[in-house]
Amino acid sequence: MKRFILILTLLAAPVWAVQPDEMLDDPELEARARDLSAGLRCLVCRNESIDESNADLARDLRLAVRERLVAGDSDDEVISYLVDRYGEYVLLKPRTDGSNLILWLAGPLMLLAGLGIGAATLRRRSTAPAPEALSAEEEARLQDLLKSDRGV
Amino acid sequence: MIVELGHFALILALLMAVVQTVFPLIGAAKGWRPFMAAAEPAAVSQFGCLLIAFGALTWAFVASDFSLQIVTANSHTAKPMIYKISGVWGNHEGSMLLWCLILALYGALAVWFGGNLSETLKARVLGVQGSIGIAFLSFLIFTSNPFTRLAVPPMNGQDLNPLLQDPGLAFHPPFLYLGYVGLSMAFSFAVAALIEGRVDAAWGRWVRPWTLAAWLFLTVGIALGSWWAYYELGWGGFWFWDPVENASFMPWLISAALLHSAIVVEKRESLKSWTILLAILAFGFSLIGAFIVRSGVLTSVHAFANDPERGVYLLAITAVFMGGALTIYAARSSALEAKGVFATVSRESALVANNILLVVSAMVVFVGTVWPLVAEMAFGRKLSVGAPFFDAAFTPFMVALAALLPIGAILPWKRGRLDRAMGQLWGVLALSVALGGLTWVVQTGGSMLAPMAAVLCAWLVFGAAAELWTRAGRVRSEKLRRLSRLPRADWGKAVAHGGFGITIFGVGALTAWQVEDIRVAQVGETFSVAGYDITLVEVHEEEGPNYLSTVAEMKVTRNGRTVAVLEPEKRLYPVARMPTTEAAIDNGVLRDIYLVIGDPQEGGGWAVRTYIKPFANWIWAGAIIMAIGGVLSLTDRRYRVAAGAARQTRKTVPAE
Q: Residue A68 is part of a domain; what is its CATH number?
A: 1.10.8.640
Identify whether the C-beta of residue B147 lies closer than 8 Å to the C-beta of residue B3: yes
Taking Cα atoms as reference points, which of B130, B108, B127, B109 lies closest to residue B119? B127
Helix (H) or strand (E) holding A16, with range, is none
A116/B contact by beta carbon, under 8 A: no
Domain residues for the domain of A35 are 16-90
CA distance B443 to B436: 11
pLDDT for B219-261, tens place per residue? 999 999 999 888 887 777 888 898 888 999 999 999 999 999 9
Radius of gyration over every alpha carbon of chain A, rounded to an integer in angstroms: 30
Query: For B572, which of A11, A95, A152 is closest by C-beta distance?
Result: A11
Helix (H) or strand (E) holding A92, with range, is none
- Of A144 and B624, which is predicted with more confidence? B624
Burial of A150 (0-12, 13-18, 19+ CB in 10 A): exposed
Identify whether the C-beta of residue B130 lies closer than 8 Å to the C-beta of residue B43: yes
**With an 8 Å Cβ cutoff, are B388 and A92 in contact?**
yes
B202/A contact by beta carbon, under 8 A: yes
Burial of B7 (0-12, 13-18, 19+ CB in 10 A): buried
Q: Which residue of B has its CA nearest to A92?
A: B386
The confidence score (pLDDT) of residue B454 equals 94
Taking Cα atoms as reference points, which of B359, B350, B387 lies closest to residue B263? B350
CA distance B23 to B27: 6
B352/A contact by beta carbon, under 8 A: yes
B529/A contact by beta carbon, under 8 A: no
**With an 8 Å Cβ cutoff, are B235 and A52 in contact?**
yes
| Overall average pLDDT of the B163-179 stretch | 86
CA distance B256 to B267: 17
Identify whether the C-beta of residue B384 lies closer than 8 Å to the C-beta of residue B299: no
Domain locations along chain B? 1-159, 515-617
Q: Which residue of A has its CA nearest to B299?
A: A46
Highest mean pLDDT among A147-151, B313-317, B418-422: B313-317
Highest mean pLDDT among A123-132, B203-212, B255-264, B483-492: B255-264
Phi (first) and psi of residue B617, to 5 degrees: -65, -15
Query: For A39, which of B240, B382, B388 is closest by C-beta distance?
Result: B388
CA distance B354 to A118: 11
HSE of B14, CA atoms in CB hemisphere, 13 A? 15
| Overall average pLDDT of the B61-80 stretch | 91
* Chain B positions in Cβ-Cβ contact with residue A52 (cut-off 8 Å): 235, 237
| A45 falls within a domain | yes
| A126 falls within a domain | no
A125/B contact by beta carbon, under 8 A: yes
pLDDT tops 50 at residue A115: yes
Q: Is B66 helix (H, G, I), strand (E, B) or coil?
A: coil
CA distance A145 to B645: 8
| A143 falls within a domain | no
B435/A contact by beta carbon, under 8 A: no
pLDDT for B511-531, tens place per residue? 999 988 888 999 999 999 989
pLDDT for B563-599, tens place per residue? 999 999 998 888 878 788 889 999 999 999 999 998 8
| A101 falls within a domain | no
- Indicate the number of domains in chain A: 1
**With an 8 Å Cβ cutoff, are B598 and A16 in contact?**
yes
* Entry pTM: 0.90
Identify whether the C-beta of residue B382 lies closer than 8 Å to the C-beta of residue A89: yes
**With an 8 Å Cβ cutoff, are A118 and B240 in contact?**
no
Question: What's the full length of chain A, in residues?
Answer: 152
| A119 falls within a domain | no
| A75 falls within a domain | yes
* Chain A positions in Cβ-Cβ contact with residue B638 (cut-off 8 Å): 149
Query: For B356, which of A115, A132, A133 is closest by C-beta distance?
Result: A115
Give residue B145's pLDDT band: very low, low, confident or very high (50, 70, 90): very high
* Chain A positions in Cβ-Cβ contact with residue B303 (cut-off 8 Å): 46
| Overall average pLDDT of the A86-115 stretch | 91
* Chain A positions in Cβ-Cβ contact with residue B641 (cut-off 8 Å): 148-149, 152
* Chain B positions in Cβ-Cβ contact with residue A152 (cut-off 8 Å): 637, 641, 644-645
B270/A contact by beta carbon, under 8 A: yes
Size of interface A-B (CB pairs under 8 A): 183
* Chain A positions in Cβ-Cβ contact with residue B596 (cut-off 8 Å): 16
* Chain A positions in Cβ-Cβ contact with residue B382 (cut-off 8 Å): 87-89
In angstroms, the first-to-last Cα distance of chain A is 70
Identify whether the C-beta of residue B403 lies closer than 8 Å to the C-beta of residue B456: yes
| A146 falls within a domain | no
| A65 falls within a domain | yes
* Chain A positions in Cβ-Cβ contact with residue B540 (cut-off 8 Å): none
Question: Mutation test of the interface with chain A: which of B116, B240, B360, choosing the one with the most A Cβ atoms within 10 A?
Answer: B360
pLDDT tops 70 at residue B648: no
* Chain A positions in Cβ-Cβ contact with residue B353 (cut-off 8 Å): 118
